[in-house]
Amino acid sequence: MRNLKRLLSGLLVLVLVLGLSINTLASAQSDIVLLLNGRKISLEDKAFLNDKNQLMIPLRKIGEELGYEVIWEEDRSITLSKDNDTVHLKIGESKFLTNGEEFYLETPPVLKESKSYVTAELLNKGLNLVAGWNGKHNILMLRQLKDNEEDFFAIDEGNKEKQEELTKYMEFLQKYHNFNGSILVAKDGKILLNKAYGLADIDQNIENTPQTTFAIGSVTKQFTAMAIMQLAEKGLLNVEDKLSKYFPDFPNGDLITIHNLLTHTSGLFNYTNLDEFLGMDINNRKPETVIHLIKDLPLNFQPGERFEYSNTNYVLLGMIVEKLSNMPLEKFLEKNIFKPLKMENTGMYSIENYQIPDTTPHVGFLKLIPVDDELVLTQAYGAGNMYSTVEDLYRWDRALNTEKLVNKETLDKIFEKYITTDETNHYGYGWMITEDHSENRIHHGGNTFGFTANIVKYPESDLTIIALSNVGAYDLVTLTEDLSSIVLGKEYNMPELLEEIELEDYSIYDKYAGRYELSELGETTFINISRIDNRLFAQITGQPAFELLPLSESRFFAKEANVRIDFVKDKTGKVEKLVLEQLGIILNANKMEDVQEKEEIELDSDLYKDYVGEYELAPGFIMTITAEDDKLFAQLTGQDKFEIFPSSEDEFFYKVVEAKIHFQRDEEGLVTHLILYQSGQEIPAVKLNN
């Protein structure tokens, strides 16, 4: 049940901020680092951020580095030409032409000190470059698209109907479910779909491409498992080796084997589930540090007894690879997997070496907010710190049908069904194997705070689907299942059309308001439904409120997460429960008897001026307090504004969410900061405009 509970955290847009001392993505005032095809470029005319926080790059330098002839005209128009490519643009104009085709920019080119500057959007769309912007570290990555020379990248010309059906599905998903990412579908070693959708960076308006890199989370595990099996094939280890052979002082090391680590049957606690993990120093580069978090904890069960997913297992496996190879895990993978397979855009996260995803991580659904994913990407190691592209992962997929990396006997061991995870799923070495009546599938997903990945193989049909997104907790499972159904001729449903309707009578919301118990989670978890004017809000225990938008009188959706809520009435018309759907999971929550609401006290609204201002909860994360019409409101960065109600002179509470605010005064009676109480946490915030 823990996994279901964690799944619901996808509803929370700012859970990371409330749970972490998160670093903002806003750029510091340091110089901008520019990488072109992996090479650091020195800029005499420095790039800068404009007043909209959009990156402005000197055009001539980039154009000439790429081999373009750059011609400046007196009317302030600019032409870049190379071979058969020509780009026309003009200072101050949003329209530009690429080989005669019109495009429009969000921010037009500008002049600064007689030099022409353009946005990353123009380089991305006009010069056809893969562009990636890391606003936290001020790194701009530009890369030329490369032609794929391998035979298995050939387009399947005989399957136009399937291609059109796949394209229709993806265009609908992007339009109505805000898909941002890349998709590759291949059948019998030929491409049916290889396309990118949405934006790599919303603020910079940079588009995704099939060669855009994404963090792939736990898809990393299959590479770590392959490294282990390559060493086993060379006779350098045996999967039945005890952990104590490599870490003599590890508690219970004589009970745990490498096989247990590979199959998640070790009983070791998952360190990423610890609160201490959220407070780790992102500058830490030693996997021993995360292992020390769980090293002395008791085993959850006897090794081999059952399956329980734990990232700890694959951190230890990566450390074993390093011990036996006498090289860092990333170097081993580069030498033995990435380079042999020409996976040139794949690596393990490293800010120091500029090995980072092109895409900005986000949380949300129809409404997206950028987040800081560096904690996971620095502390996941062999369990989940890789980045890649759909095309590179396809190269990996094709190699798994050959003996290029290991022999067939070893491959069979990797894909063997060692342990049952549930009724239809088993775990191999870094892969899930699902039994289906018609055809088995081999797959694995990956999730970080702001990225989602999924790779699925249907061996009998030689069908591969790879999906990468720069949005955390995006439902790629349903997506890949639907795409496979299209290719294999099975039934499927188009994504639900999400369009808010106008209700004739919003008083129906009064019947929905109340507390609902999610008993299926096995823990005390509630969903509070509240009406504020003609708006309906839901709030799950420990999480901020999110608005519910009507699809019908009884069915609702949210912009913050891919969730649906249906209110169910009994025969008398009384609301008896709600049904929550998210990521393919359906949960029932029975409505409880009406709960007595906390009542506010009478307070002189003239006092509200003492509280008005901005309070910093974390760098770049602000709570704004405003007073309007004798009411006091609180608004978190990126969230809706909600009224707060006085329970005493300096204490206020929310009605829409289980949280309260206590304003703090100094000796002179001036409000200097506040404390936000929510989810068992006390989060202080200093007033910025005293």
484, 509: one domain: no
CB 136 within 8 A of CB 372: yes
User: What CA–CA distance (Å, rounded) separates 197 from 50?
Assistant: 26
301, 243: one domain: yes
Would you tell me the crossing angle of helices 287-294 and 311-325 to the nearest 10 degrees? Answer: 140
Backbone angles phi, psi at 530, to 5 degrees: -130, 145
State the DSSP H helix or E strand holding residue 121, giving kind and residue range, or none if neither.
helix 120-125
The yes-or-no verdict on residue 109 having pLDDT over 60 is yes
Higher pLDDT, 625 or 436: 625
The residue to which tokens 């775990």 are assigned:
427
24, 37: one domain: no
Structural domain containing residue 583: 1-28+498-595
Q: Which residues pair with 684 in a beta bridge?
A: 675
CA 319 to chain centre: 26
User: Looking at the domain assignment, is residue 464 inside a domain?
Assistant: no
573, 636: one domain: no
The residue to which tokens 């309707």 are assigned:
501
Would you tell me the crossing angle of helices 220-233 and 311-325 to the nearest 10 degrees? Answer: 40
The yes-or-no verdict on residue 55 having pLDDT over 90 is yes
User: Looking at the domain assignment, is residue 448 inside a domain?
Assistant: no
Q: Kindly state the average pLDDT of the residues 126-151.
A: 96
Q: What is the CATH number of the domain that holds 313?
A: 3.40.710.10
DSSP track, 406-461: S-HHHHHHHTS--EE-SSSEEE-SS-EEE--SS--EEEEEEE-SS-EEEEEEETTT
User: Looking at the domain assignment, is residue 461 inside a domain?
Assistant: no
User: Looking at the domain assignment, is residue 459 inside a domain?
Assistant: no
Q: How confident is the model at residue 594 (pLDDT cuts 50, 70, 90)?
A: low
User: What CA–CA distance (Å, rounded) separates 190 from 383?
Assistant: 31
Task: Kindly report, residue by residue over 494-532, the tens digit of the pLDDT.
Answer: 999 999 999 999 999 999 999 999 877 656 688 999 998
User: What CA–CA distance (Å, rounded) separates 500 from 551?
Assistant: 5
Burial status of residue 117 (CB atoms within 10 A of its CB: 0-12, 13-18, 19 or more): buried
Domain closes at, from 144, 160, 186 = 144
533, 553: one domain: yes
Q: How confident is the model at residue 690 (pLDDT cuts 50, 70, 90)?
A: low
Q: Which residues pair with 101 in a beta bridge?
A: 98
Q: How confident is the model at residue 343 (pLDDT cuts 50, 70, 90)?
A: very high
Q: What is the pLDDT of residue 18?
A: 31
User: What CA–CA distance (Å, rounded) separates 114 from 137?
Assistant: 28
Q: How big is the CA angle at 95 (ends 93 and 99), to the nearest 5 degrees? A: 130
Q: Among 28-42, 117-131, 422-436, 570-584, where is mean pLDDT lowest?
A: 28-42
670-675: list long-range contacts, CB under 8 Å, 24+ apart: 670/610, 671/610, 671/611, 671/613, 673/615, 674/611, 674/615, 674/623, 674/625
State the amino acid at position 167 in one-letter form.
Answer: T
Q: What is the DSSP letter of 560?
A: S
Backbone angles phi, psi at 112, to 5 degrees: -140, 115
Q: What is the pLDDT of residue 274?
A: 92
Would you tell me the crossing angle of helices 476-488 and 160-177 to the nearest 10 degrees? Answer: 160
310, 426: one domain: yes
DSSP 3-state assignment of 92? Answer: coil
Distances (CA, A) of 507 to 527, 643, 678: 20, 20, 30
396, 254: one domain: yes
Q: How confident is the model at residue 636 (pLDDT cuts 50, 70, 90)?
A: confident
User: What CA–CA distance (Å, rounded) separates 168 from 166?
Assistant: 5
233, 346: one domain: yes
Q: How big is the CA angle at 439 (ends 438 and 443), to the nearest 5 degrees? A: 145
Q: What is the pLDDT of residue 413?
A: 98
User: What CA–CA distance (Å, rounded) separates 216 from 212?
Assistant: 12
Distances (CA, A) of 650 to 325, 663, 666: 61, 5, 12
Distances (CA, A) of 352 to 33, 137, 577: 12, 10, 52
User: Looking at the domain assignment, is residue 456 inside a domain?
Assistant: no
Q: Give how many domains the chain has, as a whole number.
A: 5
State the amino acid at position 569 in one-letter form.
Answer: K
Task: Kindly report, residue by residue over 60-97, the tens digit of the pLDDT.
Answer: 999 999 999 999 999 999 999 999 999 999 999 999 99
Q: Kindly state the average pLDDT of the residues 569-597.
A: 86
User: What CA–CA distance (Å, rounded) separates 550 from 504?
Assistant: 11
Task: Kindly report, residue by residue over 262-308, the tens digit of the pLDDT.
Answer: 999 999 999 999 989 988 988 888 999 999 999 999 999 999 999 99
Distances (CA, A) of 169 to 72, 298, 538: 44, 48, 30
CB 40 within 8 A of CB 387: no
The yes-or-no verdict on residue 255 having pLDDT over 70 is yes
Q: What is the pLDDT of residue 23?
A: 35
User: Looking at the domain assignment, is residue 343 inside a domain?
Assistant: yes
CB 653 within 8 A of CB 598: yes
Q: How confident is the model at residue 437 (pLDDT cuts 50, 70, 90)?
A: confident
User: What CA–CA distance (Å, rounded) separates 84 from 547?
Assistant: 51
Q: Kindly state the average pLDDT of the residues 627-642.
A: 86
- pTM, two decimals, is 0.88
198, 222: one domain: no
Strands, sheet with 441-447, edge to edge from the N-terminal-most edge strand? 190-197, 181-187, 463-469, 452-458, 441-447, 432-434, 425-427, 419-420
The yes-or-no verdict on residue 247 having pLDDT over 70 is yes
Q: What is the pLDDT of residue 521?
A: 62
User: Looking at the domain assignment, is residue 441 inside a domain?
Assistant: no
Distances (CA, A) of 677 to 21, 543, 597, 658: 16, 12, 18, 9
246, 110: one domain: no
User: What CA–CA distance (Å, rounded) separates 451 from 449?
Assistant: 6
Q: What is the CATH number of the domain that holds 63?
A: 3.30.457.10
Q: How many residues does the chain have?
A: 690
User: Looking at the domain assignment, is residue 537 inside a domain?
Assistant: yes
**By C-alpha distance, which of 374, 405, 382, 255 is closest to 323?**
382
Q: What is the pLDDT of residue 621?
A: 76
368, 252: one domain: yes
Q: How confident is the model at residue 560 (pLDDT cuts 50, 70, 90)?
A: confident
**By C-alpha distance, which of 338, 348, 343 is closest to 314?**
348
The yes-or-no verdict on residue 210 having pLDDT over 70 is yes
Domain closes at, from 595, 614, 636 = 595
286, 418: one domain: yes
Pairing of strands 139-144, 33-36: parallel
Q: What is the DSSP letter of 473?
A: T
Mean pLDDT for the chain overall? 91
Cβ contacts of 577 within 8 Å, gap of 6 or more: 516, 567, 568, 588, 589, 590, 591
Q: What is the CATH number of the domain that holds 584?
A: 2.40.128.50
| SS3 letters across 136-205 | CCCEEEEEECCCCCCHHHCECCCCHHHHHHHHHHHHHHHHHHCCCEEEEEEECCEEEEEEEECEEECCCC
Q: How big is the CA angle at 217 (ends 214 and 218), to the nearest 5 degrees? A: 140
Q: How confident is the model at residue 119 (pLDDT cuts 50, 70, 90)?
A: very high
Q: Kindly state the average pLDDT of the residues 244-264.
A: 97
CB atoms within 10 A of CB 407: 10
Q: What is the pLDDT of residue 134?
A: 95
DSSP 3-state assignment of 293? Answer: helix
Q: Kindly state the average pLDDT of the residues 318-342.
A: 98
**By C-alpha distance, which of 90, 110, 198 is closest to 468?**
198
Q: Kindly state the average pLDDT of the residues 330-339.
A: 98
